[in-house]
Amino acid sequence: MTYQDIVNKSRGTWASLGHRVLQAGGQRPVLAAALLLGGGLAMGLGGGFAANASLRHQVADQQVLIESAQADAQREINALAARLGELQAEANRLNALGDRLTRIGQLQDGEFDFNEPVGVGGVGPVEDMPRSELDEGLSELGAQFRASGEQLSVLESLLFNRQLDMNAVPSREPIQSYITSNFGGRADPFRGGRAFHKGIDFKANVGDPVMAVADGVVSFSGVRSGYGNTIEIDHGNGYVTRYAHNSRLTRKVGGLVRAGQEVAKAGSSGRSTGAHVHFEVWQNGNVVNPNKFLSQRSPLRG
């Protein structure tokens, strides 16, 4: 039985009762009025209770629908949040890789600032974006991130190899001092005649640190005739550097050295008139003027 059937039946019952009361009213008018009033109140209250129950039922149904919609929306938000987290992680990786490439490539500060947002603009009306279009855009962005990451990784590898090559080319002084005798022809300090000086001499005190001018491997560490205590470094690219007249050698053959690391202590061993550092550069078996490698960038830098 429906709610409307219940109301109609109640109305019929109360109408019949009202007719009887009116018949009796001729005899007892006060009693009839009281019965009619009480019956009206009872019918009104009954109808109100039924209507309230129906409204509560409708509200409960709507609440269920709202909670279901909220749950669906939250699941979509969680899915988007997870996708956003993946893209943020990929963006952080690309930023870190970009920073490394900036340092390796020796780009000027501010030329590529990966912490600054990129400026964008646009005009025209703005419309709501469908979920399908948003998902497609996120997928395309993720694909672009992956492709860019692969390209930057290849570039990093190339720049790293180039950096290794540059580090293996002589590009600094073996000691922080000044030149006392240059490369080329000069008067021999012992015989007085003309002689060819294969390297350059730096003023030094006994015990001053002598440093490698580039990365390489020690290929000789010992005494050479006329050079005294000598250390030679093979840089693996056709370059070999020689450091002579040392008081003590601090590296052994086969040892790996980096540019700026100590390889010996300055002295006056061998054919020498006083403490100094004799420095030579050999390229593909030929001695070359070391001056072009001092206090300047590696020739590979351009």
Could you read off the pLDDT of 134-178 as tens digits, one per residue? 778 778 877 877 777 776 776 666 666 666 677 888 988 999 999
Nearest CA to 233 among 210, 197, 202, 257?
Answer: 257
List the structure tokens of 51: 């209507």
Query: Do 98 and 37 fall within a single domain?
Result: yes
CA dihedral 129, 132, 133, 135 (to 10 degrees): 110
Same structural domain, 89 and 223? no
Q: What rounded mean pLDDT belongs to the chain? A: 77
What CATH number did the domain enclosing 272 receive?
2.70.70.10
Q: CA nearest 102: which of 93, 111, 115?
A: 111
The reply to whether 159 and 256 lie within a common domain is no
Any domain includes 126: no
Strand partners of residue 283: 239, 286
Instruction: Note down the domain range covering 150.
Output: 1-112+135-167
Residue 57 in domain = yes
Range among 27-36, 61-70, 103-112, 120-129 with highest mean pLDDT value: 61-70
**Radius of gyration of the chain from its Cα atoms, rounded to whole angstroms:** 48
Mark whether 34 and 100 lie in a shared domain. yes
Q: What is the pTM of this model?
A: 0.53
Report if residue 298 sits inside a domain.
Answer: no
User: Is residue 183 domain-shared with residue 265, that is, in the same domain?
Assistant: yes
Tell whether 54 and 202 lie within a shared domain: no
Q: How far apart are CA 50 and CA 46, in angstroms?
A: 6
Judge if 33 and 142 occupy the same domain: yes
Q: Which residues pair with 217 in a beta bridge?
A: 234, 256
pLDDT on residue 67? 84
* Structure tokens that stand for 103 in this block: 């340092």
Number of domain units in the chain? 2
Are 150 and 228 within one domain?
no
Is 300 inside a domain boundary?
A: no
144 and 219 belong to one structural domain = no
* Judgement on whether residues 185 and 106 belong to the same structural domain of the protein: no
296 in a domain, yes or no?
Answer: no
Strands 262-266, 286-288: pairing kind? unpaired
Task: In whole angstroms, give the CA distance from residue 157 to residue 151.
Answer: 10
Average pLDDT over residues 47-72: 80
Q: Which uninterrupted H or E stretch holds 179? A: strand 179-181
Does one domain contain both 183 and 163? no
**Residues 147 and 211 placed together within one structural domain of the fold:** no
Q: Give a yes or no: residue 221 inside a domain.
A: yes
Could you tell me if residue 95 is inside a domain?
A: yes
In contact, 230 and 288? CB cutoff 8 Å: no
58 in any annotated domain: yes
Tokens standing for residue 111: 């030329």
The predicted-structure confidence for 76-90, as pLDDT tens digits, reads as follows 777 776 776 777 777
Q: Measure the CA–CA gap between 24 and 18, rounded to whole angstroms.
A: 10
Question: Is the CB of residue 216 less than 8 Å from the CB of residue 233?
Answer: yes
